[in-house]
Amino acid sequence: MKNIVILISGGGSNMAAIVRAAQSEQWPARIAAVISNKADAGGLAFAEANGIPTAVVPSKEFASREEFDATLRSVIDMYEPDLVVLAGFMRILTAPFVEHYAGRMLNIHPSLLPHFPGLHTHRQALEAGHDRHGATVHIVTAELDHGPVLGQAEVDVLPGDTEDTLAARVLQQEHILYPRVIRSFIEHGAPAQQ
Catalytic residues: 109
* Cβ-based nearer residue to ligand GAR, 76 or 166: 166
Output DSSP code: residue 92: P
Pairing outcome for strands 54-56 and 2-8: unpaired
Q: Which is nearer to ligand GAR, 76 or 135 (by Cβ)?
A: 135
Q: Is 13 in the site for ligand GAR (CB under 6 A)?
A: yes
Per-residue x/- track, 66-105, ligand GAR (CB under 6 A): ---------------------xx-----------------
Q: What is the residue-wise DSSP string for 141-170?
A: -SSTT-SPEEEEEEEEPPTT--HHHHHHHH
**Which sign, positive or negative, has the C-alpha torsion 94, 72, 41, 15?**
positive
Residue 175 is inside which H or E element, if any? helix 163-188
Q: How far is the CB of 122 from ligand GAR (least distance, A)?
A: 9
Chain residue whose CB lies nearest ligand GAR: 88
3-state helix, strand, coil in the chain (%, to 5): 40, 20, 40
Three-class DSSP category at 34: strand
Closest CA to 50 of 81, 74, 21: 21
What track of x and - describes contact with ligand GAR for positions 127 through 156 (by CB under 6 A)?
--------x---------------------
CB closer to ligand GAR, 80 vs 128: 128
Nearer to ligand GAR, 105 or 135 (CB): 135
- Which residues of the shown chain bind ligand GAR in the complex (CB under 6 A)? 8, 10-14, 87-88, 108-110, 135, 171, 174
